Structure 1
């Protein structure tokens, strides 16, 4: 009998929560021979990432995973041997009682948000005793050996390596993208940002032509304001100076990976696309999820302190300046121009960082090992 894992996801905002849990569920089922049930409270968001799914189905099978509609109350069925509450979500009513009633209570894990902050290493794997006698364990993804690692399928880097120029051209043509010779290809997936205009102004006058690919999302309002267009249709192409802007449809996770592989620079947001851009091995710009009282700045600085190790002082300063400008509402033009002399160095650094992260066990593997050690 396969071991059953129940993963619970509340879609709070955007697609980061469901993006992470859907990738994790697929990998646990495909690579670790587990029976995985993914419980989602907003199947409409799930369909955006998995177009073959049905938004109204209370139960369906997708890519080896049993996807279930989040129940108002836990149904009368067996609890899995592992229960994961993603990102501190509240479990369905009655589930904790069902867990406590088991002869051998399941391993209860809180899969937390990704962070490079130093305190994460000390909290990873710690228990939190509950009033009902259960123990909830904290599991932190991260970038160091003493954390839970990053999501990475076993075949990911091999597929990335096999994605050659011919595959790249075919993928872009299927999206209706034709890039002029010598143009730099950039992807942009971000939250609303008032500094978008200053960055686009810089790209428009840059000596190097740029083709900017913008998947459908929240940044389109700011992009339309800069272009003077109230509505930006998918597939529309706009040109201003050296800059070509093209709006893409919202694509599946696998196609988004390929889009990142195609590009010379990737501006990403949140958690899921942030990690996938690192596996793409190209320079990137992270738009971190905004928190009250700018608490997200500490997380940004913690990652920058880690990521810039190995860069020259000048390149590290330029990269840090760009990320701070994008996330702290500062003009982007000067920061973008300051990065250009270091392009080759930051490109090589992105590949070195990918290799260093790939040398560590991935998140799914560490979760499975954590479960085995708990038996």
Structure 2
């Protein structure tokens, strides 16, 4: 019999958490023949990522996944064989009682946040708390051997490389999205939280000798873009040009389209966790806007990733890339940081591809979860 999986997602971080769990649920069904229920407390947020979702339904099937609304009043529900609490969300008390009542105890895991910090390897797969004899385990995605790896569908990197080699496919995809960049323009995607450093970066791009087409999916950074342009009501479909810079606002798109958007671009500014990982699979230089946490503990995670990611770069390129990421995450003046990075562009570009291929040698997150369950039983 197929293993039954329950994945619980409480949407708190502007689509990052639902982005991760939706990818994971689909991959477990498609590649590992798992029977998956995905419990989501905010179907309207989910709808942005999966337009086929009917927000009025408490239960529906999408891409082979049994999608359930996680209601305030929990219905009587049997527990699954594998239970994943995504990003430390708290399971419904009645569901925890159902786990404890199972004849065979379920495997209960906390799928934690992605981090490159050294301690993650030591904590991965360790037991956590118990509830009436049901043991919970830590499960950490990560970049190093000894972690759970990253979400990566089978054949993803081959698909990406074939797409990037196919100029007609890229042009057709962009045209279908209403994007018609100048022939010599560099393409940059911008998906970020609010950032005071954006204006200085846009100033540089607008006065550059090379044309830039900036693609901005709808999101929290849009207010900063609007202020820089000096316009009102900036929304999907808008196109504005200032000097060498063309700014185009895109609608929120399904995940497969967003992947291809990243594959089309020369540089990708991303945020949170889901888009951060997908930008790495694009094999192109990137800029990460990490989610801010109390007491600036997010900066430890940022520094840990930078130390790992830049280890193979030359000292000058490493310094330039680290400086730009740190300035961006501090909301600082991006002008000089961007110019300095451009001095090392060929090396940084080669490194982005080699880093992608290196990470692709590790087991992907869905496979690692299945392997843990199989070893556990």
TM-score bracket relative to the smaller structure: over 0.9
* Equivalent residues of 2:96, 2:131 under 8 A apart: no
Q: Secondary structure at the match of 1:207?
A: coil
Q: In structure 1, what is the Cα distance between the partners aligned to 2:369 and 2:131?
A: 25
SS in structure 1 at match of 2:344? helix
Residue equivalent to 1:149:
149
Equivalence for 1:35? 35
Gap regions ≥5 residues in structure 2: none
Alignment match, 2:124:
124
Number of the residue aligned with 1:45: 45
Counterpart CA distance in 1 for 2:2 and 2:150 is 24
Instruction: State the Cα distance separating 1:131 from its structure 2 match.
Output: 4.6
Q: Secondary structure at the match of 1:244?
A: strand
Following superposition, the deviation at residue 208 of structure 1 comes to: 1.5
Q: Distance in 1 between matches of 2:330 and 2:132?
A: 43
Alignment: residue pair count: 375
Report if the CA contact (8 A) 2:193-2:220 is conserved. Answer: yes
List alignment gaps of at least 5 residues for structure 1: none
- Deviation, 1:76, is 3.0
CA shift for structure 1 position 270: 0.2
Of 161-170 and 308-317, more deviation after overlay is shown by 161-170
* Cα distance between partner residues in 1 of 2:196 and 2:270: 16
Q: Which runs of 4+ in 1 moved over 2 A?
A: 71-78
Compute the TM-score of the two structures, normalised by the length of structure 1: 0.98
Q: Which residue of 1 aligns with 2:327?
A: 325
Per the alignment, residue 55 of structure 1 pairs with 55
The answer to whether the Cα contact below 8 Å between 1:19 and 1:49 also exists between their aligned partners in 2 is yes
Deviations 1:221-261 (CA, angstroms, capped at 9, x unpaired): 00000000121131111111111111111111110001000
Equivalent residues of 1:152, 1:363 under 8 A apart? yes
1:62-108 CA deviation, whole Å, 9 max, x = no partner? 00100001033543332110000000001013111110111111000
Contact 1:73-1:93 at 8 Å conserved across structures: no
Instruction: Give 1:80's aligned residue.
Output: 80
Partner of 1:236: 238
* 2:43/2:69 contact within 8 Å kept: yes
Q: Match of 1:259?
A: 261
Q: Could you list the per-position Cα deviations for residues 175-233 of structure 1 after superposition, in whole angstroms to 9, with x for gaps in the alignment? A: 11111121110000000001100100111111221110001111010000000012113
> Which residue in 2 is equivalent to 1:183?
185
The answer (yes or no) to whether the contact 1:73–1:92 under 8 Å persists in 2 is no
Preserved CA contact (<8 Å) 2:193 2:271: yes
2:212 alignment partner, one of 205, 210, 228: 210
3-state SS in 1 of match to 2:113 = coil
State the SS of the aligned residue for 1:39. Answer: strand
3-state DSSP class of the match of 2:108? strand
Secondary structure of the 1:116 match is coil
Contact 2:218 2:235 survives alignment (8 Å)? no
Spell out, residue by residue over 1:25-66, the C-alpha distance to the aligned partner (whole angstroms, 9 max, x if none): 000000000100000000001111111111111000000100
Q: Tell me if the contact between 2:212 and 2:246 (Cα under 8 Å) persists in the aligned partners.
A: yes
TM-score (norm 2): 0.98
**Separation in 1 of the partners of 2:235 and 2:91?**
39
1:73–1:95 CA contact under 8 A, matched in 2: no
Query: Within 1, Cα distance between the matches of 2:82 and 2:352?
Result: 35
Separation in 1, partners of 2:149, 2:235? 38
Aligned CA RMSD, in angstroms, stands at 0.9
Question: Is the 8 Å Cα contact of residues 128 and 138 (structure 2) preserved in structure 1?
Answer: yes
